[in-house]
């Protein structure tokens, strides 16, 4: 009977191991193999399900020499690489179905192991602190820390006006002015009696002297967080407080999460006795919050000593148990409305940001200003999110790049996040883009790219064997500028060199085929095309005319550029640029296309069976900001005609590809 039991048990473990294998493949793209290798993936042994690095290392080292142990953040699995296949096999047999208690939690997990060909994780991208944010270590001594903590009487004055409040269980106390959570503001006419605690004066003097702050704060909020407690992501109300906000961390270290409206998140370790200074962008534009959890993921080697961002060096992450942390946050109450440069998040400037759509440009200056505002600035702001939606290269562009001879020098003018820079390793590819943020993303991928304008690329004439210009020229707002951009591509080419040019087509339905762009109207997310979500977007503002009346108002305008004619497009001439409704056909050749910034990408299937505590809290989802990019969509024949008007080149090929007009130019 015992024998039967053991067999049943073994079968159960095998079943679960297989299930873990499938889950890893389906949700994480991790492919397990059936033959023995040096490396294992171990389900339920991840930071995401409460395993800490020390404990796991101890366990896996029992079976041999561990060459690498990777613990990806928030994942319920880890990778281990042994010195030999034999050792890995030993571990595989022993770890499958092994029950392990998580630390001293009293909770058990069952591990399931599978072989993988390689231990891998995407390269860690070193993250910078949000602009305007600094963390200064050891600003108070242990003695000062003790006295400051003792000065807060959490129990004594429960009936007093500034009595402690328990907000989502964290303890809060206000001095100087009370911060009201009902309207997220302070009563500026009702200062609290007593002002700031005496003990803070010395500290604030020091901050002023050291230049950490410019103005003496007059408001203090003391928060006490027990392990498991947190604060939802928020921006301190602009109209309530001045620019600089400083926060002292006492009693214990904690990880604070900062998030840009484009979804980019930076986790910052605030060591015990350190001072966080938020100013400028980090104070006005980024949200900050503390995820309610009992452990933080931190760099193992930085524990307790190093400040700054927690990069995803998965070979060095561990869990750090939280302890009681008390923060002293000092602010200066604002006496006049906020006039920051972030109107989209500024309560003082609400209602003032009614944008009027820009006019169609009439001269070079207006065109350049329009592109600055509605192309360059927007790409700079949406760079991270934009890049996250640009993975899969278009097949015919890949085909072009693969067809070039080995050793060719190729310029990608308007390279964006560099998705074509690595397609063919036999080429020397150089990217250039107007957006610094996008060029930085290329740099993170180790591509050669620089910031530059497609109208004057800083490269010698005739220096390239080939060029590509993908989805770039439609962002120029006059026919002259579009032509100049084409001429610049031709200039870069050596005789016999070729340029591949893609622009967005007015015709999103061609030869009775709907383009991908139209078809994906109700398609799934994470798609490779222009716009990630959403339907009609109008700019806020009452001045916006109905699109129909707007269009008809324009039809009588003379069209000064005959090249733009030919596909029934209505010119915008003296009108304001219409805002396009995403995933519909175009009604105007010149238009604004909305881009919806989504807050962070959703995480799918983060668990392999048991996950003992959630890795991240659900974040409050504010309305996502909308940006508008200027486009000139090309009619059939328009791109080709423009190319033919250039001297010294010939059109080798001209075709339509998934909603784009495409030309291959050859330099004569
Ligand atoms: Zn503001």
- pLDDT tens for each residue of 355-394: 567 888 888 999 999 999 999 999 998 998 889 888 889 9
From ligand 1's centre to the CA of 363, what distance in Å?
34
- Give DSSP secondary structure letters for 336-391: S----S-GGG-STTTTTT---PPBPP-SHHHHHHHHIIIIIHHHHHHHHHHHHT--
Task: Select from 91, 116, 141 the last residue of a domain.
Answer: 116
Q: Which has more pLDDT, 471 or 559?
A: 471
Whether residue 169 has pLDDT greater than 80: no
Q: In terms of residues, how long is the chain?
A: 668
Same domain for 223 and 304?
A: yes
Strand partners, 249: 327
- Give DSSP secondary structure letters for 568-619: SPBP-TTSBPPBPPTTS--SBSEEEEEEEPPSSPPP----SS--SS-SSPPP
Task: Select from 59, 89, 116 the last residue of a domain.
Answer: 116
From ligand 1's centre to the CA of 340, what distance in Å?
4
Q: What is the 3-state secondary structure (H, E, C) of 303-345?
A: CCCCCEECCCCHHHEEEEECCCEEEEEEECECCCCCCCCCHHH
Q: Answer yes or no: are the C-beta atoms of 121 and 70 closer than 8 Å.
A: yes
Looking at the chain, the whole-number percentage of residues with pLDDT higher than 70 is: 81
Closest Cα to residue 662, out of 427, 394, 389, 423? 394
Q: Answer yes or no: are the C-beta atoms of 250 and 328 closer than 8 Å.
A: yes
Same domain for 306 and 449?
A: no
From ligand 1's centre to the CA of 342, what distance in Å?
6
Q: What is the DSSP letter of 241?
A: B
The predicted structure's pLDDT at residue 127: 65
Whether residue 632 has pLDDT greater than 80: yes
Give domain status of residue 121, yes or no: no
The predicted structure's pLDDT at residue 509: 82
What average pLDDT does the structure give for the chain? 81
Whether residue 121 has pLDDT greater than 70: no
The predicted structure's pLDDT at residue 355: 57
Burial environment of residue 446 by CB neighbours within 10 A (0 to 12, 13 to 18, 19 or more): exposed
Whether residue 175 has pLDDT greater than 70: yes
From ligand 1's centre to the CA of 425, what distance in Å?
47
Give domain status of residue 256, yes or no: yes
Same domain for 176 and 311?
A: yes
Looking at the chain, the whole-number percentage of residues with pLDDT higher than 90 is: 44
What are the pLDDT digits (tens) for 85-115? 999 999 999 998 898 888 777 788 899 999 9
From ligand 1's centre to the CA of 215, what distance in Å?
18
Determine the 3-state secondary structure of 176 from DSSP. Answer: coil
Q: Answer yes or no: are the C-beta atoms of 63 and 82 closer than 8 Å.
A: yes
CA distance 526 to 532: 7
Give domain status of residue 520, yes or no: no
Q: Answer yes or no: are the C-beta atoms of 448 and 421 closer than 8 Å.
A: yes
Same domain for 146 and 108?
A: no
How many distinct structural domains can be found in the chain?
Answer: 3
Same domain for 187 and 48?
A: no
From ligand 1's centre to the CA of 628, what distance in Å?
21
Give domain status of residue 36, yes or no: yes
Same domain for 95 and 203?
A: no
Give domain status of residue 584, yes or no: no
Q: Answer yes or no: are the C-beta atoms of 486 and 643 closer than 8 Å.
A: yes
Closest Cα to residue 372, out of 283, 311, 328, 435? 435
CA distance 154 to 163: 8
From ligand 1's centre to the CA of 350, what distance in Å?
9
Task: Select from 84, 116, 148 the last residue of a domain.
Answer: 116
Average pLDDT over residues 524-533: 33
Closest Cα to residue 627, out of 286, 385, 421? 385
Same domain for 309 and 440?
A: no
From ligand 1's centre to the CA of 219, what distance in Å?
18
Give the CATH number, domain containing residue 663: 3.40.50.150
The predicted structure's pLDDT at residue 360: 86
What is the predicted ipTM? 0.91
CB contact burial 47-81 (16+ within 10 A = b; e otherwise): bbbbbbbebbbebbeebbebeebbbbbbbbbbbbb
Give domain status of residue 623, yes or no: no
Whether residue 505 has pLDDT greater than 80: yes
Comparing 194-203, 375-384, 551-560, the range with the smallest average pLDDT is 551-560
Domain of 152?
133-336
CA 98 to chain centre: 38
What is the helix (H) or strand (E) element at residue 553, kind and residue range?
helix 547-555
Same domain for 431 and 385?
A: yes
Same domain for 411 and 328?
A: no
Q: Which has more pLDDT, 3 or 396?
A: 396
> Sorting pLDDT into bands at 50, 70 and 90, what band is 167?
low
Average pLDDT over residues 586-605: 68
The predicted structure's pLDDT at residue 522: 45
> Sorting pLDDT into bands at 50, 70 and 90, what band is 622?
very low
From ligand 1's centre to the CA of 284, what distance in Å?
6
Comparing 120-129, 323-332, 364-373, 529-538, the range with the smallest average pLDDT is 529-538
Give domain status of residue 447, yes or no: yes
The predicted structure's pLDDT at residue 85: 92
Average pLDDT over residues 150-156: 80
Whether residue 142 has pLDDT greater than 90: yes
From ligand 1's centre to the CA of 220, what distance in Å?
20
Determine the 3-state secondary structure of 178 from DSSP. Answer: coil
From ligand 1's centre to the CA of 239, what distance in Å?
7
CA distance 154 to 483: 71
The predicted structure's pLDDT at residue 324: 93
Closest Cα to residue 486, out of 382, 413, 541, 536? 413
From ligand 1's centre to the CA of 421, what distance in Å?
39
The predicted structure's pLDDT at residue 417: 95
Give domain status of residue 404, yes or no: yes
Q: Answer yes or no: are the C-beta atoms of 557 and 573 closer than 8 Å.
A: yes
The predicted structure's pLDDT at residue 513: 78
From ligand 1's centre to the CA of 187, what distance in Å?
18
Average pLDDT over residues 510-527: 62
> Sorting pLDDT into bands at 50, 70 and 90, what band is 565?
very low
Same domain for 202 and 305?
A: yes
What are the pLDDT digits (tens) for 18-63? 888 888 877 777 788 889 998 899 999 988 888 888 889 899 999 9
Same domain for 88 and 187?
A: no
Same domain for 400 and 488?
A: yes
The upper half-sphere exposure of residue 111, i.e. CA atoms within 13 Å in the direction of its Cβ, equals: 26
Give the CATH number, domain containing residue 138: 2.60.120.1520
């Amino acid at each position: 009977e015992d024998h039967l039991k053991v067999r049943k048990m073994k079968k159960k473990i095998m079943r679960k191991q297989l299930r873990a294998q499938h889950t890893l493949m389906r949700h994480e793209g991790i492919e397990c193999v059936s033959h023995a290798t040096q490396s294992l993936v171990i389900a339920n042994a991840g930071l995401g399900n409460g395993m800490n690095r020390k404990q796991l290392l101890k366990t896996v080292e029992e079976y041999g020499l561990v060459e690498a142990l990777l613990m990806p953040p928030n994942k319920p699995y880890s990778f281990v690489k042994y010195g030999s296949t034999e050792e890995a096999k030993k571990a595989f047999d022993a770890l499958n179905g092994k029950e392990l208690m998580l630390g001293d939690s009293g909770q058990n997990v069952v591990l399931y192991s599978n072989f993988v060909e390689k231990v891998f994780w995407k390269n860690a991208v070193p993250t910078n602190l949000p602009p305007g944010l600094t963390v200064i270590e050891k600003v108070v001594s242990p003695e000062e820390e003790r006295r400051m903590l003792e000065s807060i009487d959490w129990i004594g004055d429960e009936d007093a006006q500034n009595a402690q409040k328990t907000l989502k269980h964290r303890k809060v106390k206000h001095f100087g002015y009370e911060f009201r959570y009902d309207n997220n503001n302070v009563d500026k006419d009702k200062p609290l009696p007593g002002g700031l605690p005496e003990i803070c004066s010395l500290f604030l003097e020091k901050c002023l002297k050291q230049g950490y702050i410019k103005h003496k704060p007059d408001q203090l909020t003391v928060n006490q967080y027990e392990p498991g407690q947190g604060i939802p992501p928020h921006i301190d109300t602009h109209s309530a407080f001045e620019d600089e906000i400083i926060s002292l961390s006492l009693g214990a270290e904690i990880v604070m999460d900062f998030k840009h409206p484009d979804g980019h998140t930076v986790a910052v370790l605030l060591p015990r006795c350190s001072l966080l200074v938020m100013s400028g962008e980090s104070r006005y534009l980024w949200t900050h919050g503390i995820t309610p959890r009992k452990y933080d993921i931190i760099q193992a080697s930085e524990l307790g000593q190093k400040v700054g961002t927690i990069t995803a060096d998965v070979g060095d992450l561990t869990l750090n148990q939280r302890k009681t942390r008390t923060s002293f946050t000092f602010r200066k109450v604002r006496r006049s409305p906020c006039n920051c440069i972030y109107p989209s998040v500024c309560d003082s400037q609400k209602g003032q940001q009614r944008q009027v759509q820009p006019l169609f440009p009439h001269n070079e200056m207006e065109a350049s200003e329009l592109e600055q505002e509605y192309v360059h600035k927007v790409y700079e702001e949406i760079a991270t999110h934009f890049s996250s939606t640009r993975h899969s290269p278009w097949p015919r562009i890949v085909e072009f790049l693969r067809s070039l001879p080995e050793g060719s020098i190729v310029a990608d003018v308007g390279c964006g996040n560099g998705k074509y820079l690595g397609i063919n390793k036999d080429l020397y590819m150089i990217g250039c883009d107007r957006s610094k943020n996008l060029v930085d993303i290329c740099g993170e991928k180790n591509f050669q790219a620089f910031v530059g304008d497609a109208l004057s690329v800083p490269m010698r004439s005739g220096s390239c064997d080939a060029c590509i210009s993908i989805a770039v020229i439609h962002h120029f707002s006059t026919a002259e500028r579009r032509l100049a951009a084409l001429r610049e591509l031709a200039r870069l080419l050596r005789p016999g060199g070729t340029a591949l040019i893609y622009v967005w087509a007015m015709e999103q339905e061609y030869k009775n085929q709907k383009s991908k762009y139209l078809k994906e109207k109700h398609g799934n997310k994470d798609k490779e095309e222009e716009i990630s979500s959403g339907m009609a977007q109008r700019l806020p503002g009452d001045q916006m005319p109905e699109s129909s009346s707007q269009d008809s108002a324009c039809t009588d305008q003379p069209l000064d550029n005959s090249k733009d004619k030919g596909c029934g497009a209505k010119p915008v001439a003296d009108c304001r640029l219409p805002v396009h409704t995403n995933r519909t056909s175009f009604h105007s050749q010149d238009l604004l296309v909305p881009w919806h910034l989504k807050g962070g990408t959703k995480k799918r299937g983060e668990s392999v069976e048991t996950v003992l505590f959630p890795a991240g809290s659900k974040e409050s989802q504010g309305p996502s900001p909308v940006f508008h990019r200027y486009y000139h969509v090309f009619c059939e024949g328009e791109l080709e005609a423009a190319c033919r008007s250039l001297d010294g080149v010939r059109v080798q090929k001209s075709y339509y590809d998934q909603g784009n007009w495409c030309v291959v130019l050859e330099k004569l």
